[in-house]
Amino acid sequence: MSLWTRISEALAALSQGESLSVVFDRLRSPPERTVAFTIAVIALGAKMAKADGQVTRDEVTAFREVFNIAAADEADAARVFNMARLDVAGFEDYATRIAHMFGSEPSTLRDLLEGLFYIAMADGFYHPNENVFLERVATIFGLDDTAFRALRARFVPDAQPDPYTVLGVTADMPLDEIKRRWREMVRETHPDRMIARGVPQEAVRMAEKRMVDINRAWEEITKDRAA
């Protein structure tokens, strides 16, 4: 049974009247945690795509890119996206439930928020309502302002990304401390580590982009310090 078939079954239970708490409680243990993670991205992504007043083809395409969906699974994935978009539950319900599930694993919650930023920027414009939406989700997830700004700096091209913000450090920190943080982020970004946290293998594209961003930030900092 493919990931998307399992997700369809879980969302079908929601549409038939089961509560979010019951469905997510059933998905707490591996390997079903990957289903829970994906449902969270789908549900929050589908609802966020409406935050700026419309769901564009670019945003739907970005959702498919995040999960690197095989051609054979596209029909199931599209059905799941539409089910989540039309579900009556509010985004805060989903965010709260997934925060409870992964509350002891902030890295997994950052992974999820990263996927949402990817979808938000698919149309090339970061709408103020999307920022409000993502800030609220980050708050529910228990992520601090530094973590939120680090993600936004990587995805939102309103200015040249500050490399220190991308790594979640400050310009007055010693280089060896910044290097430790960079190495920690590299370790956390390895696809195997992400999959172990419950991120589905279909979403490893997020890890590829993150690795590029954090390595570029480290290179810029070392170059600046050497000048």
φ, ψ of residue 27 in degrees (nearest 5): -110, 20
Cβ-count burial of 213 within 10 angstroms (0-12 exposed, 13-18 middle, 19+ buried)?
A: buried
> What integer pLDDT is reported at residue 64 of this predicted model?
67
Cβ-count burial of 192 within 10 angstroms (0-12 exposed, 13-18 middle, 19+ buried)?
A: exposed
> What integer pLDDT is reported at residue 55 of this predicted model?
56
> What integer pLDDT is reported at residue 153 of this predicted model?
85
The answer to whether the CB of 190 falls within 8 A of the CB of 50 is no
Single-letter amino acid, residue 139 = T
Cβ-count burial of 215 within 10 angstroms (0-12 exposed, 13-18 middle, 19+ buried)?
A: middle
> What integer pLDDT is reported at residue 68 of this predicted model?
66
What pTM did the predictor assign? 0.70
> What integer pLDDT is reported at residue 139 of this predicted model?
95
Nearest alpha-carbon partner for 114 in 3, 220, 211, 10: 211
The answer to whether the CB of 169 falls within 8 A of the CB of 181 is yes
128: Cβ–Cβ under 8 A, 6 or more apart, which residues?
none
CA distance 224 to 73: 46
Angle between helix axes 204-226 and 106-120 (nearest 10 degrees) is 90
Give the pLDDT means over successive 10-residue stretches in the chain (227 positions). 71 69 70 75 76 59 67 71 66 83 80 84 81 93 89 78 87 93 90 76 73 91 87
> What integer pLDDT is reported at residue 173 of this predicted model?
92
CA distance 52 to 64: 19
3-159 is a CATH 1.10.287 domain: no
CA distance 103 to 184: 20
Task: Quote the tokens at residue 32.
Answer: 């079903």
The answer to whether the CB of 194 falls within 8 A of the CB of 67 is no
> What integer pLDDT is reported at residue 134 of this predicted model?
93
> What integer pLDDT is reported at residue 181 of this predicted model?
93
Q: Where are the alpha helices (DSSP H) in the chain?
A: 3-15, 20-25, 33-48, 57-67, 74-86, 91-101, 106-120, 128-141, 145-155, 163-167, 175-189, 191-196, 204-226
CA distance 159 to 68: 29
